[in-house]
Amino acid sequence: MLAVTFVTTGLVVDIVQGLMYITIRPISKGTYRKLNYYVTYALNSQIVFLAEWWSGSRVILYADPQIVSSYFGKEHAQLLLNHCYEVDWLLGWLICDRVQILGNAKVYVKKMLQWAPVLGWSWKFQEVVFLERNWEKDKRNLGKQLSRLVEYPWPFFLTMFPEGTRFTKQKHEASMIVAREKGLPELKHHLLPRTRGFVAGLPYLKGKVPAVYDVTVAFPKDCDPEPSVFNLLNGVPLTAHLLMRRIPMETIPDDPEEAANWLHKLYQHKDKVLDNFLETNEFDPKRELPEYTKFEYFELPRRYFSLINFCTWAAIINLPILYFLVLLLTSGSILSVILAVSFVGIAYLGMVRLINLTKISRSASSYGGAGTSAPNKVETDQTKPSTNGNVNNVSKKKEN
């Protein structure tokens, strides 16, 4: 049911978005974006449904309640998330839904994903920011994409994972080799942030996007079961903790080098609070960090719209299909039975394939290999990755 509903809904959404893109957008970009908010929500909220209704997962915030009620969902914001878990992006979507901004949840993603059926096609029409992981190309396209995005009539959240790839032990070891070479403090639970893309985007966001939201996602050290999308599919509930603080965009330095150092210091701070949590299950157990004096642990109430949306699509899509499958299975024809089983199997495999897009290959990104040298201090973050096994190159260099 989950697979058939999600894949079918996604294809319908893709078609509707495509038609709006070629008919409405040329006439009125603002109207297109407003309508696309609701069309996008029809798809995105099904993934939220999977987490908060199907599996019953919880998200506990550690934040200033007054800041959350006054600003979250009421302004454009750039979210800086750590990338330690397979489900961190999904947890961000839960918060987006609860502050009524899910239809405008934007993210930086690899350009190759725009060709992925359902999610990738929809992202293209949602105007998310696509990056080729080739700095010479990205620096030409980044400004154009961000300039279009800040024109949005309704608030949006633009999520960035400055680490560039998901945390693994191998990537962490390679990243810390680079940290030692550059004289940067070593991080225990994060990779070095890649500052180049963040710094390049600031001129286009400042004055248009009021704030950066620093988001640190954490699970208990011995979390069982593992926080994965597959476990959510199996209905296994997870309890995540998110530290969220609002940082005015104007407080970030204009100078590129200082802005890069600002991001490094932010990740050093994130590393400290995440280390606290993994040791004590609290971000600031001794209440010794002055900026968290007004912070509290609390949950935002989940909304019923994702449940209603999924159940409506499930009924519209699955009842006719179920009737058709019953006819095939009771027809007495072996060919009909094979067709029925194949249909369900293909839908399931399609959904699993889409979910696997959220998983980062161990070789998807690397640190410190050829092509990562920087001409100035702003580029000490190894932003320009290569595809020829850089991690191994770093290890060999270290051995030599």
Residue 356 within any structural domain of the chain: no
- Count, residues in the chain: 400
Residue 312 within any structural domain of the chain: no
Is the torsion defined by CA of 190, 204, 63, 51 positive or negative? negative
User: What is the count of structural domains for the chain?
Assistant: 1
| Residue 98 structural domain | 2-305+361-399
Confidence of residue 364 (pLDDT cuts 50, 70, 90): very low
- Summarised one tens digit per residue, pLDDT across range 103-154 is 999 998 888 888 888 888 999 999 999 888 777 788 778 888 999 999 998 9
φ/ψ (deg, to 5) at 35 = -65, -40
Residue 334 within any structural domain of the chain: no
Residue 347 within any structural domain of the chain: no
Cα gap 63→73, rounded to integer Å: 15
Reading the block at residue 39, the tokens are: 């069309």
Place of tokens 């994972």: 161
Residue 346 within any structural domain of the chain: no
Residue 19 within any structural domain of the chain: yes
Which pLDDT does position 296 carry in this prediction? Answer: 93
Cα gap 47→4, rounded to integer Å: 13
Residue 325 within any structural domain of the chain: no
3-class state of residue 354 by DSSP:
helix
Which pLDDT does position 335 carry in this prediction? Answer: 80
b/e 174-195 (16+ beta carbons within 10 angstroms → b): bbbbbbeeeebeebebbbbbbb
- Summarised one tens digit per residue, pLDDT across range 76-107 is 999 999 988 888 888 889 999 999 999 999 99
Residue 61 within any structural domain of the chain: yes
Q: Judge contact between 151 and 135, C-beta under 8 A.
A: no
Which pLDDT does position 230 carry in this prediction? Answer: 82
Instruction: Quote the mean pLDDT of the chain.
Output: 84
The terminus-to-terminus CA distance of the chain in angstroms comes to 55
- pTM greater than 0.85 (yes/no): no
Residue 72 has pLDDT above 60, yes or no: yes
